[in-house]
Amino acid sequence: MDKVLVIGTSYGGLEALKIIIPSFPKDFILPVLVVLHIGDHNNDSFIDFLNNISKLNVKEAEEKEVITAGNVYFAPPNYHMLIDNDASISFSADTKVHHSRPSIDVLFESAAWSFNSGVIGVILSGLNQDGTYGLKTIKKYGGITMVENPENAIASIMPMSALKQTKVDYVLELDQIAAKIIELSAKM
């Protein structure tokens, strides 16, 4: 696997992901890794809900699991999720980044380092700056960057921060994001 989709979100992310994830077709060619700021709470019920309405397999990521297309991997509570060079997932209990563990920046940076231009990075609704540096890193390594339009996001701080720091490739409404990702993935 040499391509990946990474998504980061916080406050408002549950609603955003309920729109995006079920829009991907069964034969979607990219593995999807998601950091959702949930603090110490487990996300099992949300993962089950998404799994029931999605064509892809939605699950909590496991240590050393090799990522494959057809799957959506959520970071577990209280662990940073990283992608290693062999396309496997690893976890870290390192210090919180932007008061968050899992951190979007940690996932996005590791994706950029491992996959270079084979990354699509997406920042959705959220209330802090987590993901801004990671999205900038994805752009630096030649990946594609996208943010939810902050004007219509439930929480605009996260997408707005990303826009201030990075010349983002696409700023889209929530209901346009999945279609653009599908279109771009076919060209990667």
Please identify every residue annotated as catalytic: 10, 37, 130
Q: Where are the alpha helices (DSSP H) in 5-131?
A: 13-20, 44-53, 104-115
Tokens for 38? 């949930």
52 Cβ partners below 8 Å, 6+ apart? none
Tokens for 133? 């540096």
Tokens for 90? 């690893």
Cβ of 26: how many Cβ atoms within 10 Å? 9
Determine the Cα–Cα distance for residues 95 and 119; give it in Å rounded to an integer. Answer: 25
